[in-house]
Amino acid sequence: MTPILAPMAAAAAVALAGLVAALWLRRRAGARRHAVSQLLDAADELEARLRAARAEIEASAGGTGDPVREAMQEMLRQRLWLQQHGGQASLDQLRSVRESIDAARQRIDQQLWRIERARASLH
């Protein structure tokens, strides 16, 4: 290799490594934004479902008690956690919180299904 080509090849290798690193960082930031967006969407869906569940349960139970309160408090704790730690959280942590939100929504759906089944058996 000629003396002029060696520095040019080294500069090209450094530039290529920088480009690869920049692309990797951009992809990682996109995955984080996507995970946070999915988590917020799941929290919004859970909150809407909890409000509907509260109305259904109160209607069937005559307005006594608030069995949805614990789920609402958990959802609010998760939103607060996301607000405080979401920027530093790993993708695995974000996915874990989203999975817990989805599980809570499924539990509420099961309770509502039981209420609907009980109503149907009364008619």
The residue ranges of every structural domain in the chain are: 33-122
**The pLDDT value given to residue 42:** 86
pLDDT digits (tens, 9 = 90+) for 57-82: 777 765 555 667 777 887 788 888 88
Is the pTM above the cut of 0.95? no
DSSP conformational letter for 65: -
CB 72 within 8 A of CB 14: no
List, in sequence order, every beta strand (DSSP E) within the chain.
none
